[in-house]
C-alpha cells in the first residue's frame, strides 16, 4: 500500500481490497454453501442480503470484486436462500454464540472507553450527551478494547465450551471458536443434533447456560433444617451440571469449605449463604448475547474475514489457551502510513504499543493505521 491523501473510506476500501485480492483463499466457506444466505456491508454503508452462491469459487470471486467492510453468512440452511425471509424454507441452523466484552461490565472499560465530539474532536468520558467543550450533541461512544477485555471474554468462551461439551454432549469437533475481530469471541456449533432446535429451545439453552432460576434450593439448602439434615443432600464439586459447578465455586469462595461447613454456615446465616450462592451462579455462568443464539435467521460474520470496526480478522482457534488476538488477528503489513489521529488511548497490536494520541500527525505501520481508521479516529495525512 502506498502513502497518499485519501478519505478514510477510500483508504480502508483500498486496504481491504488489497487484502482480499491476496488472501481470499483463507476465507472460511460454510458447509452446504448452496443452501446458505450470504450478505455484506459495503463501504457505502449499504447492507446487501439474500445472496446465494452455487460454489466456493463464485463466492470468493464476489469477495475479491466487492471487498466489503464486513461479510456474513446465515447460520441456517434453507430450501431457497435467495427468497424473502418468509419464503426461504428453514431446514436447520447452526448454533451461534456471541460473547462481547462490552457486555461483561469489566472495570477496565471505565479506564479506556470514551465519547468523541464529531464537531470539535474533543474526547470525554462516556455518559454525556453533549460535548463539554463546544456543546454539540453530535457525539459518538467509542468502546475500546484491551488485554483485560479480551481476557474476560476468553474466560466466558472457555466456560461456554465447558457447558456445550459436558452439559449438552456436543463434541469438540462440532464446536468452532473464533475471536470475533473486535471485542470478543464467537462460537459456532456445526453438525450437531441441535441443528433442528427451534427458537424456544435455543432460548431455554441460553437460560440454562446463564443459570437463570438457580437458587440455594437447588443446592438442597432449605430453611428450618439442621446441618446434619442438609449436608448429605448437598452436591460435591464433582457432581455434573449446575449443582457441581456452584458447589465448586462456592467452596473456593469460602476458602475450600466442605459441605458440612457450608451446611452449618447456612443454618447460622441463611441470607449470607443464599447471597453467596447467587454470586457463585454469576461466576459459573457463561455470559452470551441471547438474541444471537435464539435467532435462527441470523447472518453471522464469516471466519477469516475483516471486521469493519477494527480491520482485524475473525480468527479461528483450535485452543483458547494462549490465544493472543491482538497479534494473531492482525491482517495487514508494517508498511508506514502517515495519518492524522483525532484521539486515541494507548493500544497494542503485534506486541507493539501505540499512542496515546491527541490531534497528532504520526507515521504508523499499516495495520495500526487501519485499526484507527476503522474506528473513525484517523485519516490519511
Distance CA 48, CA 23 (A): 22
Task: State the pLDDT at residue 123.
Answer: 86
Task: Please give the radius of gyration of the chain, using alpha carbons only, rounded to the nearest integer.
Answer: 24
Cβ neighbours, 10 Å, residue 103: 15
Residue 8 has pLDDT above 80, yes or no: yes
Residues in the chain: 381
Q: Which of 103, 162, 167, 289 is catalytic?
A: 289
The residue-averaged pLDDT of 72-77 equals 98
Task: State the pLDDT at residue 120.
Answer: 78
Least confident of 133-142, 250-259, 266-275: 133-142
The residue-averaged pLDDT of 36-53 equals 97
Cβ neighbours, 10 Å, residue 127: 9
The residue-averaged pLDDT of 234-244 equals 96
Distance CA 350, CA 145 (A): 14
pLDDT digits (tens, 9 = 90+) for 191-213: 999 999 999 999 999 999 999 99
pLDDT band of residue 3 (cuts 50, 70, 90) is very low
HEC string of the chain equals: CCCCCCCHHHHHHHHHHHHHHHHHHHCCCCCCHHHCCEEEECCCCCEEEEECCCCHHHHHHHHHHHCCCEEEEECEEECCCCCCHHHCCEEEECEEEEEEHHHCCCCCHHHHCEEEECCCCCEECCCCCCCCCCCCCCEEEECCCCHHHHHHHHHHHHHHHHHHHHHCCCCHHHEEEEECCCCEEEEEECCCCCCCCCHHHHHHHHHHHCCCCCCHHHHCCCCCCCHHHHHHHCCCCCCCHHHHHHHHHHHHHCCCCCHHHHHHHHHHCHHHHHHHHHHHHHHHCCCCCHHHHHCCCCEEECCCCECCCCCEECEEECCCCCCCHHHHCECCCCCEEEEEEEEECCEEECCEEECCEEEEEEEEEHHHHHHHHHCCCEEEC
In the sheet that holds 95-100, the strands lie side by side as 95-100, 184-189, 175-179, 315-317
The residue-averaged pLDDT of 365-380 equals 96
pTM over 0.85: yes
Residue 260 has pLDDT above 50, yes or no: yes
Determine whether 324 is an active site residue: no
For residue 317, which of 177, 156, 172, 158 has the smallest C-alpha distance?
177
Query: What is the residue-averaged pLDDT of the chain?
Result: 94
First-to-last C-alpha distance (Å) of the chain: 14
Task: State the pLDDT at residue 203.
Answer: 98
pLDDT digits (tens, 9 = 90+) for 86-107: 999 999 999 999 999 999 999 9
Determine whether 289 is an active site residue: yes
Distance CA 284, CA 102 (A): 19
Which residues are CB-contacts of 106 (< 8 A; sequence separation ≥ 6)? 148, 149, 152
For residue 97, which of 201, 180, 192, 182 has the smallest C-alpha distance?
180
Residue 2 has pLDDT above 60, yes or no: no
Determine whether 113 is an active site residue: no
Distance CA 123, CA 117 (A): 6
pLDDT digits (tens, 9 = 90+) for 146-158: 999 999 999 999 9
pLDDT band of residue 1 (cuts 50, 70, 90) is very low
Cα torsion angle, 134, 145, 208, 199, sign: positive
Amino acid at each position: 500500500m502506498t502513502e497518499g491523501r485519501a478519505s478514510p473510506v477510500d483508504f480502508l476500501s483500498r486496504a481491504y481490497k488489497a487484502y482480499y485480492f491476496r488472501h481470499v483463499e483463507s476465507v472460511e466457506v460454510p458447509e452446504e454453501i448452496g443452501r446458505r444466505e450470504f450478505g455484506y456491508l459495503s463501504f457505502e454503508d449499504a447492507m446487501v442480503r439474500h445472496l446465494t452462491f452455487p460454489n466456493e469459487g463464485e463466492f470468493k470471486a464476489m469477495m475479491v470484486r466487492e471487498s466489503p467492510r464486513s461479510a456474513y453468512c446465515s447460520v441456517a440452511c434453507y430450501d431457497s436462500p435467495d427468497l424473502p425471509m418468509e419464503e426461504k424454507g428453514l431446514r436447520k441452523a447452526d448454533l451461534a454464540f456471541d460473547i462481547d466484552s462490552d457486555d461483561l461490565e469489566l472495570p477496565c472499560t471505565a479506564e479506556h472507553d470514551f465519547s468523541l465530539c464529531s464537531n470539535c474532536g474533543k474526547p470525554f468520558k462516556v455518559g454525556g450527551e453533549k460535548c463539554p467543550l463546544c456543546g454539540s450533541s453530535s457525539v459518538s461512544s467509542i468502546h475500546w478494547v484491551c488485554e483485560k477485555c479480551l481476557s474476560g471474554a476468553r474466560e466466558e468462551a472457555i466456560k461456554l465450551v465447558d457447558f456445550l461439551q459436558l452439559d449438552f454432549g456436543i463434541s469438540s469437533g462440532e464446536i468452532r471458536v473464533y475471536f470475533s475481530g473486535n471485542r470478543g469471541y464467537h462460537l459456532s456449533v456445526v453438525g450437531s443434533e441441535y441443528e433442528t432446535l427451534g427458537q424456544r429451545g435455543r432460548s431455554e439453552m441460553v437460560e440454562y447456560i446463564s443459570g437463570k432460576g438457580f437458587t440455594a434450593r437447588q443446592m438442597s439448602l432449605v430453611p428450618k433444617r439442621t446441618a446434619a439434615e442438609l449436608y448429605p443432600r448437598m452436591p460435591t464439586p464433582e457432581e455434573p451440571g449446575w449443582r457441581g459447578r456452584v458447589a465448586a465455586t462456592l467452596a473456593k469462595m469460602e476458602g475450600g469449605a466442605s459441605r458440612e461447613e457450608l451446611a452449618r454456615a447456612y443454618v447460622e446465616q441463611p441470607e449470607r449463604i443464599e447471597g453467596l450462592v447467587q454470586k457463585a451462579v454469576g461466576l459459573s455462568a457463561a455470559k452470551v448475547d441471547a438474541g444471537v443464539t435464539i435467532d435462527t435467521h441470523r447472518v453471522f460474520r464469516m471466519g477469516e474475514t475483516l471486521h469493519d470496526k477494527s480491520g482485524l480478522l475473525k480468527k479461528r482457534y483450535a485452543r483458547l489457551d494462549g490465544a493472543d488476538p491482538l497479534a494473531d488477528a492482525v491482517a495487514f503489513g508494517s508498511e508506514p502510513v502517515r495519518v492524522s489521529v483525532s484521539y486515541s488511548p494507548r493500544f497494542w497490536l503485534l506486541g507493539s504499543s501505540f499512542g496515546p494520541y491527541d490531534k497528532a500527525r504520526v507515521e504508523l505501520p499499516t495495520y495500526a493505521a487501519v485499526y484507527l481508521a476503522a474506528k473513525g479516529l484517523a485519516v490519511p495525512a
